[in-house]
A and B are shown apart, each in its own frame.
Chain A
Amino acid sequence: MASDRKPPSAGGKQAQRVPAWADGLKQLYDSVVEEDLPDSFKTLLARLDELDPRRLGDGLAGGGRASPSPDDREAQT
């Protein structure tokens, strides 16, 4: 990707440039990455060690590419 850094002419075509919003997409993403983790996550992460993955796995299959079974989280609400 050659970056020819000509200043865009006013009203010129913007098709070939990196769009002006591209950086905004990163900003939206990074602003969430940089947020302090809510307490609910700290609690959950702290609790994970107490949860036996094998038992948890019964209703929570979902690793890899397999599509999770549709009825696995009905109890959540």
Chain B
Amino acid sequence: MSDSDPPEPRRSAGEKADFKRELTAVVPHLRAFARGLCGRPDMADDLVQETLLKAWAAQDRFEPGTSMRAWTFVILRNAYLTDMRRNRFRGEYDEGVAERILTAPAGQEEPIHLSDLHRALMTLPPERREALLLVGAGGFSYEEAAEICGCAVGTIKSRVGRARAALTEMLANGNVPRRSTDDEVAHRAILEELDEVAAGNGVSSRG
């Protein structure tokens, strides 16, 4: 190896096309993940556009054959945390979620509204919400989710468990924040936790 090697591998046209194709294919998933993270469709889409540009800029760092979805989720997550710290997202709920009723399983008297679930989700601390989204909605394994969040597998399991317990509790007791929220408390709690998450503090102790 001579030391005149370029610092980054140059991708062939074919590899570039592969990258583009894979990136295009994950856009719907990025939109779904972003919407779950920040709640509002317009902000979520801004976040995805930002993610696509960052992914494109960083494409030499993508290892072909690995999961494009996981790789781009990391980028999206970092962009989200950065934007959150700048208060670009105000933790608002998506008023557009249809008042659809989830089919209640047999024996369950009270149907659950999808919009209630969405609002309940948005009250979770961000690191638990994201863990639940990755595992419960995105279909990632605990191991993959841990990789995406840069934490231990046990931490992810614990966050998912707590998120599930909180949602179950809220939905079972009808303890869901109202539409057009002015739920200052929940929102402030979310922002405070975010500072901790973003600063890398206190995360492991909270689980």
Contact = CB atoms under 8 A, between A and B. Distances in A.
A69 to B, nearest CB: 9
Interface string B162-176: 001001100110000
B57 A26 contact: no
B145 interface: no
Nearest to B135: A25
B112 interface: yes
A10 B109 contact: yes
A15 B164 CA distance: 10
Interface in A18-77: 19-30, 32-35, 37-38, 40-41, 44-45, 48-49, 51, 53-54, 56-57, 60-68, 70, 73, 76
Contacts of A38: 45
Contacts of A51: 53, 56
Contacts of B103: 23
A9 interface: yes
B60 to A, nearest CB: 7
Contacts of B75: 62-63
B136 A25 contact: yes
A21 B171 contact: yes
Nearest to B101: A24
Contacts, number: 154
A60 B62 CA distance: 15
Given A23-B102, A33-B31, A28 B24 contact: no
B82 A67 contact: yes
- Across the A-B interface, the 3 shortest Cβ-Cβ residue pairs: A63-B58, A29-B137, A62-B54
Interface of B: 20, 23-24, 27-29, 31-33, 35-36, 45, 48-50, 52-62, 71, 74-75, 78-79, 81-82, 85, 97, 102-109, 112, 114, 117-118, 120-121, 132-133, 136-138, 150, 164, 167-168, 171-172
Interface of A: 7-10, 14-15, 19-30, 32-35, 37-38, 40-41, 44-45, 48-49, 51, 53-54, 56-57, 60-68, 70, 73, 76
Given A14-B168, A24-B114, A63-B74, 13 more contacts: A7-B106, A20-B102, A21-B120, A21-B168, A25-B133, A29-B32, A33-B29, A40-B49, A41-B45, A51-B53, A53-B56, A53-B57, A68-B78
26 contacts: A8-B106, A19-B164, A20-B105, A21-B168, A23-B103, A24-B114, A25-B117, A27-B102, A27-B114, A30-B32, A32-B31, A33-B31, A35-B31, A37-B27, A41-B45, A44-B52, A45-B24, A45-B27, A48-B52, A62-B54, A62-B57, A63-B57, A63-B59, A63-B61, A65-B150, A67-B81
